[in-house]
């Protein structure tokens, strides 16, 4: 998933204030179109949203348990998820025509990005077949009915492509209010031994700036150079 050697650096954007979800989607759609036309550089945008539930293309109504926050239907892949303060969202607008026209490879690369970032904080993130995103084992929690190890999701992934340009991206739980996830079945997961966690919930004290630095460092290893705007 690395860019060609002659490609310009990926534009790296960071917003300190909370960004309304609709504004972010509007920006991404315009930027993806401009990238496809060769009128703009690839871009990664790091931000936080006000509390909101978003439903992807596979979202089921029964997984919206209680609309505690605004609900936004979006064209990204995946089901229901939560965004809010304390969660680092990274929107990834990359031109797969110049990289690799392979959606699965993109998702795998995004998972690798998160896993490498978590490792910098001493957390072992893992992939799970049939469950997109990154998970951590919780041996201290109750096992499933069949004796399955308890696991919690620490990062969600949902992407969309337009003319082979990606947008949407990842959501890494740094220190959000985990009770806010109770209004949905996150990503359709209802099994009692599967839940949601964060770095803070795992006992890791990490400032958002430190997480941002780790995300950028590991992004450059997997995807290529970046440049501030």
229 residues of the chain, pLDDT tens digit each? 999 988 999 999 999 999 999 999 999 999 999 999 999 999 999 999 999 999 887 888 888 888 889 999 887 777 888 999 999 999 999 999 999 999 999 999 999 999 999 999 999 999 998 888 999 999 999 999 999 999 999 999 999 999 999 999 999 999 999 999 989 887 667 788 999 999 999 999 999 999 999 999 999 999 999 999 8
Q: What is the DSSP string of 68-118?
A: -S-EEE-SSSSSEEEE-TTEEEEEEE-BTTTS---HHHHHHHHHHHHHHHH
- pLDDT computed for residue 79 by the predictor: 83
Residue 117's pLDDT is 98
Residue 91 marked as a ligand binder:
no
List the CATH code of the domain at 10-228: 3.30.930.10
Q: Is 168 annotated as a binding residue?
A: no
Joined together, the tokens standing for residue 106 give: 């993109």
Q: Could you give the CA distance from residue 53 to residue 146 in angstroms, rounded to a whole number?
A: 31
92 vs 166: CA distance, rounded Å: 7
What is the structure's pLDDT at 66?
Answer: 87
133 is in an annotated binding site: no
Backbone angles phi, psi at 45, to 5 degrees: -125, 115
On whether 79 is known to bind a ligand per the annotation, the reply is yes
Catalytic residue status for 187: yes
Domain definitions of the chain by residue range: 10-228
Q: What is the pLDDT of residue 41?
A: 97
**pLDDT at residue number 187:** 61
Instruction: Check whether 76 is labelled as a binding-site residue.
Output: yes
Cα separation, 161 vs 74, in Å, equals 13
Catalytic residue (one of 89, 187, 211, 214): 187
Is 171 among the annotated ligand-binding positions? yes
* Other Cβ atoms closer than 10 A to 204: 15
Give pLDDT tens digits for 121-158: 999 999 998 888 999 999 999 999 999 999 999 999 99
- Distance (Å, rounded) from C-alpha 44 to C-alpha 105? 18
């Amino acid at each position: 998933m690395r860019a060609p050697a002659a490609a310009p650096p990926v534009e790296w954007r960071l917003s300190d204030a909370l960004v309304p979800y609709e504004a972010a989607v509007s920006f991404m759609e315009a930027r993806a179109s401009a990238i496809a036309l060769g009128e703009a550089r690839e871009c990664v945008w790091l931000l936080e949203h006000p509390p909101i539930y978003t439903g992807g293309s596979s979202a089921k109504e029964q997984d919206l348990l209680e609309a505690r926050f605004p609900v936004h239907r979006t064209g990204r892949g995946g089901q229901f998820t939560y965004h809010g303060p304390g969660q680092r969202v990274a929107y990834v607008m990359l031109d797969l025509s110049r990289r690799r026209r392979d959606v699965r490879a993109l998702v795998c690369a995004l998972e690798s990005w998160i896993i490498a970032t978590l490792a910098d904080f001493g957390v072992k993130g893992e992939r799970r077949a049939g469950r997109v995103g990154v998970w951590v084992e919780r041996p201290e929690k109750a096992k499933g009915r069949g004796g399955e190890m308890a696991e919690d999701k620490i990062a969600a992934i949902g992407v969309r492509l337009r003319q082979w340009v990606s947008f949407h991206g990842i959501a890494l739980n740094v220190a959000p209010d985990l009770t806010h996830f109770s209004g949905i079945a996150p990503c359709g997961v209802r099994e009692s031994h599967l839940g949601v966690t964060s770095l803070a919930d795992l006992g890791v004290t990490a400032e958002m700036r430190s997480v941002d630095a780790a995300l950028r460092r590991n992004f450059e290893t997997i995807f290529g150079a970046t440049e501030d705007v």
